[in-house]
Amino acid sequence: MKLFVRLMVFFIMSAAFSSCQKAVFDEDDGGGGAVDGVAIRFQVTQFEQIPFGSTSTSRATDVGKACTQINFAIYQNGTRVKQINQKASDADFGAVNLSLKEGRYLVVVLAHSCDGIATMTDPAKITFPNNKVTDTFWYSDSINVEQDCTYQLKLKRAVAMFRLQATDAVTADVKMVRLYYTGGSSTFDAINGVGCVNSKQWENFNITDDMVGTVRNFEVYSFPKADNKGLNVTVTTHDKNSNRIFEKEIANAPIQRNVITVYKGRLFSKNADSKGDFNVDLSSDDEWTTNEFTF
């Protein structure tokens, strides 16, 4: 009997020890459970950026200052096998532990501030909630999973920004400014790092009473396409009844990934249709670069 008891204790302890060796992590993977295998950790460490309104470079390690959502997706042979989604309120925001079977995978990471999760079923055709684009960063690379490993990820900016910079103060009759633009994309090809559809994009900017008498900027984002023919932007201002007060067409505004294209001009004055030459101001390659135009 004593020998039997000792054998039972041995087998129970052996089973418990073996279970501790399995690399299993809990994650929100968009439908599947964790898979026993090799332990992998992804840690977002840098963003290619310069903060808006600042002249100092920021390669942020505090990812919560650069975005509110991070979506990690893992693909094998063209099929998504995992997706892990994080919000800025999560304690481990920017870091993911997971397990994968040995093999080769494509890793795609998106950091953005949309109201929801990016749809990443196809890495070459990623969409965002309501087709709205915010300042967006991405990482895409293939990895060969053979042993436990930690990957330090530097994300690149994926978007171009168009900034409309009013040179006159907001008037009391204007209640909304609208930017409608084509030529860019709201769908992203993370493999090639470009926009991949012809999108019609727009943003409405509500004007509140405290904005009257101030000079404002209006900013929108787009994923530049491979042909990169520029944006065609229609700028309109509207009164409280949505009647159009002012309209301006801007054709072929040049856009480029990680570049802010700034158009300066009058929006609210009676003589708002001024024109002029443009000048270009370029900064270093890994920061926002700024191109300035006067309309």
Q: Is residue 46 part of a domain?
A: yes
What amino acid is encoded at 152 in this protein? Q
> Percentage of the chain with pLDDT > 90?
68
Assess whether 201 and 140 both reside in one domain: no
Contact 138, 188 (CB under 8 A): yes
| CATH number of the domain where residue 62 is located | 2.60.40.2100
Mean pLDDT of 247-269: 92
More reliable by pLDDT, 44 or 30? 44
Assess whether 173 and 254 both reside in one domain: yes
Assess whether 137 and 183 both reside in one domain: no
Mean pLDDT of 25-36: 42
Mean of the per-residue pLDDT values of the chain: 81
Phi, psi of 116 (to 5 degrees): 145, -175
Which of 157, 177, 200 is the endpoint of a domain? 157
More reliable by pLDDT, 142 or 22? 142
Phi, psi of 213 (to 5 degrees): 90, 0
Assess whether 169 and 152 both reside in one domain: no
Q: Is residue 178 part of a domain?
A: yes
**What's residue 64's pLDDT?**
76
Assess whether 235 and 140 both reside in one domain: no
**What's residue 166's pLDDT?**
93
- pLDDT (tens digit per residue) in 100-158: 999 999 999 999 999 999 999 999 999 999 999 999 999 999 999 999 999 999 999 99
SS3 of the chain: CHHHHHHHHHHHHHHHHHHHCCCCCCCCCCCCCCCCCEEEEEEEEEECCCCCCCCCCCCCCCHHHCCCEEEEEEEECCEEEEEEEEECCCCCCCEEEEEECCEEEEEEEEEECCCCCCECCCCCCEECHHHCCCCCEEEEEEEEECCCEEEEEEEEECCEEEEEEECCCCCCCCCEEEEEEECCECCEECCCCEECCCCEEEEEEECCHHHCCCCCEEEEEEECECCCCCEEEEEEEECCCCCEEEEEEEEEECCCCCEEEEEEECCCCCCCCCCCCCEEECCCCCCCEEEEEEC
Assess whether 197 and 278 both reside in one domain: yes
Which is it for strands 137-145 and 103-112: parallel, antiparallel or unpaired?
antiparallel
Q: What are 22's two structure tokens?
A: 């399995």
Q: Is residue 215 part of a domain?
A: yes
Q: Is residue 12 part of a domain?
A: no
Q: Is residue 253 part of a domain?
A: yes
Instruction: Give the residue carrying structure tokens 């509110």.
Output: 68
Assess whether 136 and 169 both reside in one domain: no
What amino acid is encoded at 88 in this protein? A
| Lowest mean pLDDT, pick from 21-35, 78-92, 115-129 | 21-35
More reliable by pLDDT, 229 or 251? 251
pLDDT band at 294 (very low <50, low <70, confident <90, very high): confident
Instruction: Label residue 98 exposed, middle or buried (CB < 10 Å: 0-12, 13-18, 19+).
Output: buried
Close Cβ partners of 7 (under 8 Å, ≥ 6 residues apart): none
Assess whether 129 and 184 both reside in one domain: no
**What's residue 65's pLDDT?**
78
Q: Is residue 273 part of a domain?
A: yes
Which of 157, 178, 208 is the endpoint of a domain? 157
Question: Is pLDDT above 70 for 285?
Answer: no
Q: Is residue 17 part of a domain?
A: no
Q: Is residue 1 part of a domain?
A: no
- pLDDT (tens digit per residue) in 32-68: 344 468 999 999 988 875 444 333 334 445 677 789 9
**What's residue 249's pLDDT?**
93
Which one of 20-34, 55-69, 231-245 scores highest in mean pLDDT? Answer: 231-245
Assess whether 73 and 140 both reside in one domain: yes
Q: Is-above-0.85 flag for pTM?
A: no
- pLDDT (tens digit per residue) in 164-205: 999 999 999 999 999 999 999 999 999 999 999 999 999 999
| CATH number of the domain where residue 248 is located | 2.60.40
Report the domain count for the chain: 2
Which of 139, 157, 175 is the endpoint of a domain? 157
pLDDT band at 287 (very low <50, low <70, confident <90, very high): low
Question: Is pLDDT above 60 for 9?
Answer: no
Range of the domain at 191: 160-294
Assess whether 55 and 119 both reside in one domain: yes
Assess whether 206 and 270 both reside in one domain: yes
Assess whether 59 and 104 both reside in one domain: yes
